């Protein structure tokens, strides 16, 4: 009986080992595969075999199985027992791929890229298709998560030839999403291969202005590239664009207050909006007609929409009042597509509602992006005490922490007499032996900033980088106001940083106040006009951007228009534009 059991055990072991490895086809070595065995059985057999290669294959299979069972910690422990340098190339690729997948599961793209940097991965083309796809996929995911969008697209394009059916279509959609997110300058000078075709398609779509221009560009590209995957099966967002092009916009309602506290804001928005409208007419376009409605006299939103429908309105721009935007956001649907000129604080609203404004939260997120691009990881923060300051701080914190940054100290600006002590407390954090503060995030008025920066100098922290929102800049033209703010970096609208813009010059000649801080509202009005013909495009191409005068505009999944802004720095009282960073 004992002899029979030994024979049975030996046969089981032989079968198990055979199931764990593919037949050796070359010097690359055998590949593990998930056998018909439990995790514990695999590990037991690995510990019992005297053959190091078979033990490694068994452990690779066990680690793979543990990950598939969503036990990543166990998978990592098992993988750590496999001597990578002693494996053959195919096994090294498998182990590196598995390590990268585990790294991505814990949201660590840099560790994933490090794992895939093993020399064996260069031989990926010699391996079975299923492993090639697995390796390329996790590599693309890691590159995308690390902000290397073009490289991620190239990685997906590299595996296109070995994919078929739904897998090929899904991969092509992913390639398009990536190339559509690239800035125009990265799309130029492309090659003539398949990847170059994707990039030339994205460039054609982004370079066209109106929906009809985009449709013409797509049709022309398809005629020139009939055998390209995107020509054979047009990406879904571009199919949506074709549908939008068949629905021209002919009449817009502008709903803004003409009386009350917001009348001046409404007038600046309206003047900017109409300046862009007249510019379009002068350029030979056939823009939609505009009809104005006074939101300050509004008694019922339902009555307004009934009137607008009777007037033939296809798109509403406005309202500006936050209370009205909140009402719209709470509705299940709207009778007419609406671009509100403010943001509600609630969850996503009806599908017909888009929201656009000069949100301080956009600028806080922009500070986080810029500081991260500049290689900084540890921030201190100074924001005004109160609800506004909390909103700005929360927006900065979410963007900053989500990408690995930390906030080592926070001070709330309240009474001027306490500023010196608050700045001093933050400066002490810079001298911390643990994780010292590397820069200060500042959301403050020009008057507050003019006290904070000299106090930093007095505290021997004048070289501490300060990254601020646009609120530190009044655009008053008074250079003396900013002489004590040397080195403070801040984000600002292109309208105020690019005084040579022809439309800005034309508007400022008629309304001189458009050159001051009020110019941000004129810029928003211009961009609101631009958005009227581009909402469908931004929704269909969520990673695309519009270079506006209030910022570079994109759309969030909740249909909020978000802004990224250029940067400037105070130098001897003057504003000096800084080079842009990649999106």
| DSSP reduced 3-state for 523 | helix
- For the stretch 308-363, pLDDT in tens is 999 999 999 999 999 999 999 999 999 999 999 999 987 788 999 999 999 899 99
Whether the pLDDT of residue 118 is over 80: the answer is yes
Identify which of 281, 341, 346, 279 has the alpha carbon closest to the alpha carbon of residue 315.
341
Whether the pLDDT of residue 7 is over 60: the answer is no
Whether the pLDDT of residue 1 is over 60: the answer is no
Section 250-271 average pLDDT: 95
Q: How far apart are CA 363 and CA 342, in angstroms?
A: 15
Q: In this predicted structure, what is the pLDDT of residue 542? A: 66
Give bridge partners of residue 408 from the DSSP assignment.
none
Report helix angle 149-159 to 129-145, nearest 10.
170
The per-residue b/e assignment along 310-338, b for 16 or more CB within 10 angstroms, e otherwise, is eeebbbbbbbbbeebbbebbeeeebeebb
Contact 409, 349 (CB under 8 A): no
Q: How far apart are CA 184 and CA 373, in angstroms?
A: 19
Identify which of 35, 42, 10, 37 has the alpha carbon closest to the alpha carbon of residue 20.
35
Identify which of 106, 140, 107, 108 has the alpha carbon closest to the alpha carbon of residue 124.
140
Section 470-498 average pLDDT: 86
Identify which of 285, 255, 294 has the alpha carbon closest to the alpha carbon of residue 273.
255
Identify the residue with better confidence: 460 or 494: 494
Average pLDDT, the chain: 86
Domain 2-146 of CATH type 1.25.40.10? yes
Lowest-confidence segment of 297-311, 346-360, 443-457 by average pLDDT: 443-457
User: Residue 384: CB partners within 8 Å, gap ≥ 6?
Assistant: 412, 413, 414, 443, 444, 448
Whether the pLDDT of residue 15 is over 60: the answer is no
Lowest-confidence segment of 189-198, 369-378, 396-405, 536-545 by average pLDDT: 536-545
- For the stretch 217-231, pLDDT in tens is 999 999 999 999 999
Whether the pLDDT of residue 446 is over 70: the answer is yes
Banded pLDDT at 582 (limits 50, 70, 90): low
Q: In this predicted structure, what is the pLDDT of residue 440? A: 93
Q: In this predicted structure, what is the pLDDT of residue 307? A: 96
Q: Are strands 574-577 and 567-571 parallel, antiparallel or unpaired?
A: antiparallel
The secondary structure of 242-298, three-state, reads: HHHHCCCCCEEEEEECCCCCCHHHHHHHHHHHHHHHHHHHHCCCCCCEEEEEEHHHC
Section 257-262 average pLDDT: 94
User: Residue 516: CB partners within 8 Å, gap ≥ 6?
Assistant: 474, 475, 476, 477
Lowest-confidence segment of 228-237, 414-423, 521-530, 549-558 by average pLDDT: 414-423
Q: How far apart are CA 398 and CA 428, in angstroms?
A: 25
Q: In this predicted structure, what is the pLDDT of residue 139? A: 96
Lowest-confidence segment of 59-73, 96-110, 535-549, 557-571 by average pLDDT: 535-549
Q: Return the H-helix or E-strand segment holding 413.
A: strand 406-413
Section 198-209 average pLDDT: 85
Contact 499, 515 (CB under 8 A): yes
**Burial bucket for residue 168 (CB in 10 Å: 0-12, 13-18, 19+):** middle
Q: In this predicted structure, what is the pLDDT of residue 212? A: 77
Banded pLDDT at 237 (limits 50, 70, 90): confident
Q: In this predicted structure, what is the pLDDT of residue 6? A: 38
Whether the pLDDT of residue 26 is over 70: the answer is no
Q: In this predicted structure, what is the pLDDT of residue 35? A: 66
Q: How far apart are CA 528 and CA 532, in angstroms?
A: 6
Section 290-303 average pLDDT: 94
Section 251-268 average pLDDT: 95
Q: In this predicted structure, what is the pLDDT of residue 5? A: 33
Q: How far apart are CA 230 and CA 270, in angstroms?
A: 41
Identify which of 540, 566, 536, 542 has the alpha carbon closest to the alpha carbon of residue 554.
542
CATH architecture label of 360-492+567-577 = 3-Layer(aba) Sandwich (3.40)
* Portions of the chain given CATH number 1.25.40.10: 2-146
Q: In this predicted structure, what is the pLDDT of residue 284? A: 77
Alpha carbon separation from 167 to 10, 97, 488 (Å, rounded): 41, 19, 50
Q: In this predicted structure, what is the pLDDT of residue 448? A: 85
Section 390-416 average pLDDT: 90
User: Residue 529: CB partners within 8 Å, gap ≥ 6?
Assistant: 272, 273, 274, 276, 277, 280, 317
Section 471-476 average pLDDT: 85
Omega into 380 within 30° of 0, i.e. cis?
Answer: no
Section 354-380 average pLDDT: 93
Section 75-91 average pLDDT: 90
* Portions of the chain given CATH number 3.40.50.2300: 360-492+567-577
Q: In this predicted structure, what is the pLDDT of residue 539? A: 82
DSSP per residue, 452-489: HHHHHHHTT-TTS-EEE-GGG------GGGGGGGTT-E
Question: Taking the complete model, does pTM exceed 0.75, yes or no?
Answer: no
Q: In this predicted structure, what is the pLDDT of residue 8? A: 35
Banded pLDDT at 34 (limits 50, 70, 90): low
Whether the pLDDT of residue 300 is over 70: the answer is yes
Four-residue CA torsion sign, 205, 207, 211, 216? negative
Whether the pLDDT of residue 429 is over 90: the answer is no
């Amino acid at each position: 009986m004992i002899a029979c059991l030994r024979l049975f055990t030996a046969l089981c072991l032989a079968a198990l080992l055979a199931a764990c490895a593919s037949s050796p086809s070359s010097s690359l070595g055998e590949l593990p595969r998930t056998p018909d065995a439990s995790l514990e059985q695999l590990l037991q057999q690995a510990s019992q075999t005297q053959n190091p290669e078979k033990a490694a294959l068994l452990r690779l299979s066990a680690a793979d199985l543990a990950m598939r069972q969503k036990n990543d910690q166990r998978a990592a422990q098992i993988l750590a027992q496999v001597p990578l340098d002693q494996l053959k190339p195919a096994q090294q690729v498998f182990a590196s791929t598995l390590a990268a997948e585990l790294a991505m599961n814990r949201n660590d793209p840099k560790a994933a890229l490090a794992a895939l940097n093993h020399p064996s991965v260069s031989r990926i083309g010699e391996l079975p298709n299923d492993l090639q796809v697995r390796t390329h996929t996790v590599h693309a995911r890691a590159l995308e998560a690390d902000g290397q969008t073009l490289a991620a697209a190239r990685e997906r394009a590299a595996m296109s030839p070995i994919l078929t059916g739904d897998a090929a279509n899904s991969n092509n959609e992913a390639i398009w999403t990536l190339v559509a997110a690239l800035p125009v300058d990265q799309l130029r000078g492309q090659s003539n291969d398949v990847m170059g075709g994707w990039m030339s398609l994205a460039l054609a779509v982004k370079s066209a202005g109106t929906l009809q221009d985009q449709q013409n560009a797509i049709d022309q590209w398809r005629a020139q590239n009939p055998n390209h995957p995107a020509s054979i099966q047009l990406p879904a967002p571009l199919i949506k664009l074709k549908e939008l092009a068949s629905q021209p916009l002919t009449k817009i309602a502008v709903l803004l207050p003409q009386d009350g506290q917001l009348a001046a804001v409404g007038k600046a928005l309206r003047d900017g909006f109409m300046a862009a409208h007249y510019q379009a007419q002068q350029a030979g376009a056939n823009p939609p007609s505009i009809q104005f409605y006074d939101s300050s006299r509004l008694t019922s939103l339902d009555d307004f929409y009934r009137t607008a429908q009777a007037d033939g309105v296809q798109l509403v721009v406005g309202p500006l009042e936050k209370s009205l935007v909140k009402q719209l956001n709470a509705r299940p649907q709207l009778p007419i597509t609406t671009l509100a000129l403010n943001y509600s604080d609630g969850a996503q609203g009806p599908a017909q509602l888009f929201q656009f404004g000069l949100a301080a939260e956009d600028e806080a997120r922009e500070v986080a992006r810029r500081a991260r691009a500049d290689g900084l990881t540890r921030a201190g923060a100074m924001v005004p005490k109160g609800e506004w300051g909390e909103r700005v701080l929360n927006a900065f914190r979410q963007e900053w922490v989500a990408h690995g940054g930390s906030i080592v100290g926070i001070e709330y600006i309240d009474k001027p007499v306490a500023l010196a002590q608050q700045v001093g407390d933050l400066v002490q954090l810079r001298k911390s032996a643990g994780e010292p503060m590397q820069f200060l995030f500042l959301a403050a008025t020009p008057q507050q900033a003019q006290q904070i920066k000299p106090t930093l100098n007095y505290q021997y922290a004048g070289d501490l980088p300060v990254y601020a929102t646009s609120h530190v800049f009044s655009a008053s033209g008074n250079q003396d106001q900013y002489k004590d703010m040397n080195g403070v970096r801040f984000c600002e609208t292109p309208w105020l940083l690019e005084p040579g813009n022809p439309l800005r010059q034309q508007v400022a000649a008629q309304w001189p106040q458009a050159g001051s801080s009020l110019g941000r509202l004129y810029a928003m009005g211009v961009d609101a006009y631009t958005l009227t013909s581009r909402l469908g495009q931004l929704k269909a191409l969520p990673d695309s951007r519009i270079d506006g005068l209030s910022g570079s505009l994109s759309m969030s999944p909740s249909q909020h228009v978000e802004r990224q802004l250029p940067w400037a720095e105070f130098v001897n009282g003057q504003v000096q534009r800084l080079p842009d960073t990649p999106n």
